[in-house]
Structure 1
Amino acid sequence: MPKENKKRGRRAQKKRKHEDEEDVPPTKRQKSEDAEDEVKILVHGDGDLQERGQDAYTGPGEVPFYGLLSEDEQEYFKRADSLLELNQFADAEERNLFLANVYKEANGKELKIANSQSCSRIMERLMLMSSPAQLKALFREFNGHFLHLVQHRFASHCCQTLFRQSAQVVTDELLAPLEDQQKEMERGEPYVSMENLFLYTVNELEGNLGYLMTDQFASHALRVLLIVLSGQPLANTATTSLLQSKKKEKIDITGLTKSSDLGLQARTVPDSFQEAVDKVISGMITGLDTTYVRALAAHPVGNPVLQLLIELELSQYGRKKAEDTDSLFRKLLPDDSPEEGTDSASFINGLLYDAVGSRLLETIIRCAPGRTFKPIYRSLFRERLGSLARDEIAGYVVIRVLERLGKEDLEEAVTQICPQTGSLIERSRTTVIKTLIERCAVRGLNTKPIADALVEAYGEEPSARLSELLKLNITGNEGMSKERQLQVEAKDGVKLHGSLLAQAMLEVPGPLRELISQSLLATDTSTLVFMAKDRTATHVLQRSLTCSGQGNIFCRKILQKFLGHIADLAVDAVASHVVDVFWTASKGLQFIKERMAEELLEKEKALKESYPGRAVWRNWMMDLNKRRKSEWISKARGAQEKPDQSSKVGMQSQVISKSGIELARERFAGAKAGKSRNSRARVSTGANGAAAGVRVEEQGLAAGIWH
């Protein structure tokens, strides 16, 4: 039977009737005609901003409709997307031909594809594999529509990828502008540099920047554009969280190699980009007062943009901009010295405990000039570091403060934080302790007070201390499947931070390293084997054997505990890394290295059936051990750091020195070649016929000697 209309239907019908009777304004977020001159900003608990007045930003109008793809077109582009993702082309020529065909099919439909929920991914993958000319073609298609595209849920991701991929093209054109110009002229196209295409985009967005910085989707594209214009690294860990959300889908291509220079190094940009950055910053903050800017600091979307603007402003202009009354920094902190009781001090104290605002405060502390940072530290942080370190949010701000302190101030900070060590460990705030240890090592301070505080917090018994620090759960996951164990470990942040703290302690010679070393020596073999297979604790074990200055006595005692378990560790995906470390750690301990090699030989079949085992077999040069044992022993005795632990196991290549017989063969071949050249030089002074006869005779003689 058909269902009767429910409440939802009647409400919708009533709403449509009400909308038909009223005049609906043609644009969104229009300013009221009778608005007052002053600006009033209300910051609600969820971080939304409500603004009104003549300085309030308005939206760019209704978003145009670019049309929909037909079912056949959607099916074609989905199929092309899957082929691009797999990247199983025979060669580069076949891939380029496929890309050209996809671009031909997408001609005139670029805006439809970018706005399509199901097909926008192929646009991003196309950009990842596109040539500079193809990227420029996409830029031309998007020109005039960027204002609407950056606000679209799916098209905004395409804009971000286009900006990222085009960043290096700007640098390349600066180095070789004539080559690119000639190529485009040969194709009969007017030459437009990528620099100009970016500048056109900035001009298009100008006038709406204040509105876009708080837009849910446009904000991310705006941040990427600012990073590209400034020339900063795109893949730097300090800016990754600013550029994209954690929920963003990762679009990649199998086997696609990315240039490290593109993401990790600063890029050369033209002078016009610096002017564009200034224009963007001034366009965002012009007309904004301190109240509005501070409201943005608590806005979940506007806050990352503020962080980036502050970083660009202070990194490029430094002290000069920090003292400029019209700068963004001065709008946030107008007081010259933010002492207790001032408006700036109240604002900073509010940011300290705010989950969103504290990130802006971290950026201010990290980038502020020394002349600006010192008054802030002395008046607001100096006497409160111990209590602030215990807070879940303010603790991250304390970490940034510790990174800026000199030797005397850091020594005072140690005296404040050490009594709080037990409380910090109970609250899982070990990141503060780790940073304190690292800064003490940099400044050359005595770490004995920190070691004493850790012993008091974790207990006197060495093995129990290590188990508590690393949160080892030997029997707790026995009933779980392998996949479930990996999921539990991935979510265990406390365990990860404990491992990082232990590794930081191992890097500092003295009492802190002794704490971990003594705990490892006091741990039984079964627990050490468990640690080697644990994805988090294994790094502590590896670092204990490879840290600089670690003595042979410690390495010998640890390695002896693993004898009898080498083959079992070698076939484990995690523990195989530890077996590779054993090769380096056993330098000078030849008898232990040979016993480990014997264990690997006994389980040769099992190792070669496992991918980690094959990698260990290759890194330990076990084929050489089987065929020429004496040569393997000589290499093992003189081994420097063979496996590179910074990359995946087995992916590194071994640099094998030449044997004695190989060197003798090279000397014989070199002497023979020199003798032949001298003979030809002497014969060349005679007649051509005689020279030819002698040359043939020499060749026959040489052949007889060789055979």
Structure 2
Amino acid sequence: MPKELRKRGKKKKPEPEWQPPVQEPVHEPPPKETPSWIVSAPKPEDQEDVNPEAPFGYVEVDVKAYFRTVDIQIRDWQNTTADATGDEDSDPNEERRMFFVAALTEMGGKEKQLATDPDCSLILERMSYSMDDFVRRVFVDSLIGSYDVLVKHRFASHVCQTLFTVAAQTVSREHRSTLTLAPETRAFYQRFPESSDKGELRTLTQLIIDVCEELLPVFPSLVMNPFASHVIRALLLLLSPNLATSQETAQHTMRSKKSAAWKAKQGPLKSVFNDSQGSGADAVDHAPPEVFTHAACKFVEALRSALGDNETRALAADKVASPTLQMLLAVEADQQMTEDPDSLMDRVLVGLVSASREPPASAPVQSDYLNTLLRDPTSSHLLETIVSRCPAPAFSILWATYFKNNLPRIASHPVANFVLAKAAQLREACAELHNVWPKQSRTGVLRAAIDRAAALKACGSEIIEAVLSAFRIESAEERTLLVPCMLRLQTLPEYTAAKSDEPKVQGAVLLQSLLRLPEPHNQLVSDSLNSLSPEDILNIAHHAISSRVLDALLDSPTVPLKAKRQFVLSFLGRYHLLVDDRIGSRVGDRCWAFCDTYLKEKIARSLIPHESFLAASFYGKFFARNLNLYLLQRRPDEWRTMQTERSRPAESTAVAVSAPPAPAENKKGKRKREGGDEIDALFGAALGKKVRKAALVEPAPAKAQPEPKAKSLPSPASEDAGLADVLGAIRAAPEGSGKAHGKRKGR
């Protein structure tokens, strides 16, 4: 065999086979022993597998489909009104009540599941407005024991809020003992026999107290819950109805902006019935029961005991809790609990209420917390409530510590100026801001000062000086340009430099506030209006914003009558141009309604040459209807009498209208007593009147010879008058008893 040839070089070693890496054992540290004092709370058996989205279970598919049809039907009825016409014995709401009772039957036992369902919760809200008092009591009672879960649910919280809102009507009627219960609803609930396990149904007043007792232990956590806070506000408003009258709390009783925008897309929410059953026709402005007042006080005391000083102050800056704390402060002030030791207002004011009860040793030091409240967009609303509700001694300390000598900076701040508008002491504010008014670009403080002076009827001269200083008007000649400067929110140099700006709402509001000042301080605005050129005054009257100033001039009770007459006469000769506009026609109607008969005649005679112009104007023709120029030119005395009667309060008409018509059942009973057919009576009455008119022409019969029965004409009100008898009487009437038109035909 040939010898094998070998190559030089290193011999390659065979690669070893792959083997998985060997993992070294990891030595974990031994678990730490749990301290003996830490014990895990046992989980309740009924809450082991609770779904937070559906804590009471899901609604069945067929039930949800049924309530969708209910929602469609109720939407249709809420967009339209019930047909009140028809038979006298039929009820136009009968069909709707029967449909509503069927929906209530299906809802029985499923209230909690429906309230937590995303689709059915809104249907329950829609049905709540149409429930009568008894059904509302049943509905509220069916949810007792679960309100602590429902108010924190995303969808059920809105159901509870709507339920507390409409409950005010039922509570008011319970207070007056005028509860309502539909006949079909009464029959529906009477079908179920009373059993020993079901007690007596409580009144809605007692049910609301039970709800408050159920929510009281978890109330501090509900204040900070994003879903429950709105429900708490609705409940507080039910317990204290006078909170709705205060401007600082009325805006926080509604839903959030996002929720309100979504609810507006769902159509109107109102009762589907035309009667007063659950329609909200009863006034809600009622004195709350005494138990409601105690319940509201318990909520305030629960928050006091559960939270400390710093925790209470932290609520002021929270976007969810701040509006609720604002209402609780208002409740505390209404019940005169503000001066109690450790009150909520004393905590928020960092002890100023307690300091006001002590002898004044030294001025308190400013707190950074209150300075933050003053300039924070969220908590500034709370401070507005505080300055309007706190006791007078505490407010004096608050004003001297945080506002005095700082008004220029506060008035120019975009947030703090709103608080200053609520808290401003009029005379001190005018004196301190005298040299600062021209530099202010915000009108809130100035408007608040004007309104305060109008309400107190004081400091009018200081307010006029502040207004003139703000718009840099000095001489008497420059005062005539006050109205155009204020309408455009421009100083006098800015207005004379450029006149192209449109009127602004804030300027028109300032002028309206000035017109409510007592005389002679409001004369500044009326003199400026009367000194304007005819073109400028027409431009003001034709603008949607500036025309409100003219309305305020005519409506203000403090403006003298002479100034109003002078303003009305300023349009004389140009009324046809004034009313030839959508906005100007409304101003013309205001002027016409103000005038007496003398001024109306002057206006009407000035418009006689422009009668054709008014007739051709789209808006002027409506104003021309009140003039009645044709009657003025032909019979002026009659025209004056007519205008005087129109302007005079119609006392006789009011008496005539107040007399109610005869009830329908009396008329129906009267027809039954007469015993005649309705159609025969109708035609007999009509034909009988014509025959009686003709019978007046024939001579009266002799006394000795009574008139034959065939020639006698039946009376329309006769009980035996029929259609055949009337026709027979017409045929038997003599020829001369007819109308005399035939004699003129031969001539």
| Structure-2-length-normalised TM-score | 0.65
Contact 1:170/1:195, CA 8 A, preserved across alignment: yes
Pairs within 5 Å for 1:419-498: 419-424=435-440, 427=441, 429-460=442-473, 461=478, 465-471=482-488, 495-498=504-507
Aligned partner of 2:540 among 511, 526, 531: 531
Shift of 1:533: 3.4
Shift of 1:243: 0.5
Contact 1:448/1:511, CA 8 A, preserved across alignment: no
Alignment pair present for 1:67 and 2:64: no
- The residue that corresponds to 2:734 in the other structure is none
- The residue that corresponds to 1:414 in the other structure is 430
Contact 2:121/2:156, CA 8 A, preserved across alignment: yes
Range with bigger deviation, 431-440 or 545-554: 545-554
- The residue that corresponds to 1:25 in the other structure is none
Pairs within 5 Å for 1:108-187: 108=107, 109-176=110-177
For residues 600 and 155 of structure 1, what CA distance do their matches in structure 2 show?
A: 65
Shift of 1:519: 2.6
Per-residue CA deviation, residues 383-422 of structure 1 (Å, 9 max, x unaligned), is: 32343222221111112213xx4xxxx3232111232211
- The residue that corresponds to 1:630 in the other structure is 637
- The residue that corresponds to 1:681 in the other structure is none
Shift of 1:290: 1.0
- The residue that corresponds to 1:104 in the other structure is 102
Range with bigger deviation, 369-378 or 219-228: 369-378
Report SS of the residue matched to 2:92. Answer: helix
RMSD across aligned positions (CA): 4.1
For residues 382 and 122 of structure 2, what CA distance do their matches in structure 1 show?
A: 32
The amino acid of 2:547's aligned partner reads T
Change (3 A) 1:101 1:141: farther
Range with bigger deviation, 340-349 or 99-108: 340-349
For residues 105 and 182 of structure 1, what CA distance do their matches in structure 2 show?
A: 16
- The residue that corresponds to 2:411 in the other structure is 389
- The residue that corresponds to 1:358 in the other structure is 380
Shift of 1:300: 0.8
- The residue that corresponds to 1:334 in the other structure is 351
Change (3 A) 1:572 1:269: same
The amino acid of 2:66's aligned partner reads E
Report SS of the residue matched to 1:508. Answer: coil
Contact 1:398/1:432, CA 8 A, preserved across alignment: yes
Per-residue CA deviation, residues 607-644 of structure 1 (Å, 9 max, x unaligned), is: 8x87x975x5777789987997534423545875x8xx
For residues 228 and 415 of structure 1, what CA distance do their matches in structure 2 show?
A: 43
Report SS of the residue matched to 2:217. Answer: coil
Aligned partner of 1:191 among 197, 201, 206: 201
Change (3 A) 1:452 1:371: closer
For residues 454 and 642 of structure 2, what CA distance do their matches in structure 1 show?
A: 36
Aligned partner of 1:377 among 382, 399, 411: 399
- The residue that corresponds to 2:556 in the other structure is 547
- The residue that corresponds to 1:79 in the other structure is 72
Contact 1:78/1:118, CA 8 A, preserved across alignment: no
For residues 572 and 551 of structure 1, what CA distance do their matches in structure 2 show?
A: 28
For residues 304 and 495 of structure 1, what CA distance do their matches in structure 2 show?
A: 31
Per-residue CA deviation, residues 459-480 of structure 1 (Å, 9 max, x unaligned), is: 544565423322399xxxxxxx
Change (3 A) 1:285 1:386: same
Change (3 A) 1:75 1:504: same
For residues 610 and 128 of structure 2, what CA distance do their matches in structure 1 show?
A: 47
Contact 1:147/1:205, CA 8 A, preserved across alignment: yes
- The residue that corresponds to 2:421 in the other structure is 399
The amino acid of 1:73's aligned partner reads Y
Shift of 1:66: 4.1
The amino acid of 1:91's aligned partner reads A
For residues 331 and 293 of structure 2, what CA distance do their matches in structure 1 show?
A: 10
Unaligned runs of 5+ in 1: 1-32, 36-59, 474-488, 643-653, 659-699, 701-707
Shift of 1:253: 5.1
For residues 113 and 613 of structure 2, what CA distance do their matches in structure 1 show?
A: 59
For residues 217 and 609 of structure 2, what CA distance do their matches in structure 1 show?
A: 71
For residues 547 and 532 of structure 2, what CA distance do their matches in structure 1 show?
A: 14
For residues 366 and 621 of structure 1, what CA distance do their matches in structure 2 show?
A: 54
Report SS of the residue matched to 1:562. Answer: coil
Aligned partner of 1:252 among 268, 275, 285: 268
Shift of 1:432: 1.2
Alignment pair present for 1:582 and 2:598: no
Contact 1:229/1:277, CA 8 A, preserved across alignment: yes
The amino acid of 2:154's aligned partner reads R
Contact 1:353/1:394, CA 8 A, preserved across alignment: yes
Aligned partner of 2:523 among 503, 514, 518: 514
Change (3 A) 1:623 1:365: farther
Report SS of the residue matched to 1:282. Answer: helix
Shift of 1:537: 1.6
For residues 118 and 222 of structure 1, what CA distance do their matches in structure 2 show?
A: 23
Contact 1:458/1:468, CA 8 A, preserved across alignment: yes
Range with bigger deviation, 371-380 or 352-361: 371-380
The amino acid of 1:89's aligned partner reads A
Shift of 1:297: 0.4
Change (3 A) 1:530 1:508: same
* Larger proportion of helix: 1
Shift of 1:314: 1.3
Change (3 A) 1:430 1:261: farther
Change (3 A) 1:66 1:472: farther
- The residue that corresponds to 2:299 in the other structure is 280
Shift of 1:361: 1.2
Range with bigger deviation, 572-581 or 252-261: 252-261
Shift of 1:307: 0.7
- The residue that corresponds to 1:325 in the other structure is 341
Contact 2:579/2:585, CA 8 A, preserved across alignment: yes
Change (3 A) 1:553 1:145: same
For residues 330 and 212 of structure 2, what CA distance do their matches in structure 1 show?
A: 20
Report SS of the residue matched to 2:172. Answer: helix
Per-residue CA deviation, residues 4-46 of structure 1 (Å, 9 max, x unaligned), is: xxxxxxxxxxxxxxxxxxxxxxxxxxxxx979xxxxxxxxxxx
- The residue that corresponds to 2:511 in the other structure is 502
Pairs within 5 Å for 1:612-691: 630-634=637-641, 636=643, 655=650
- The residue that corresponds to 2:315 in the other structure is 296
Shift of 1:178: 8.8
Aligned residue pairs, count: 556
- The residue that corresponds to 1:222 in the other structure is 232
Per-residue CA deviation, residues 434-483 of structure 1 (Å, 9 max, x unaligned), is: 2212222344434334323423432544565423322399xxxxxxxxxx
Per-residue CA deviation, residues 208-232 of structure 1 (Å, 9 max, x unaligned), is: 2111111112111101101111242
Contact 1:517/1:544, CA 8 A, preserved across alignment: yes
Report SS of the residue matched to 2:435. Answer: helix
The amino acid of 1:466's aligned partner reads V
- The residue that corresponds to 1:677 in the other structure is none
- The residue that corresponds to 2:84 in the other structure is 91
- The residue that corresponds to 2:712 in the other structure is none
Identical pairs, percent: 25
Contact 1:572/1:613, CA 8 A, preserved across alignment: no
Range with bigger deviation, 363-372 or 187-196: 187-196
Unaligned runs of 5+ in 2: 1-36, 40-49, 86-90, 195-199, 491-500, 654-714, 716-747
- The residue that corresponds to 1:691 in the other structure is none
| Structure-1-length-normalised TM-score | 0.68
For residues 210 and 149 of structure 2, what CA distance do their matches in structure 1 show?
A: 15
For residues 315 and 579 of structure 1, what CA distance do their matches in structure 2 show?
A: 46
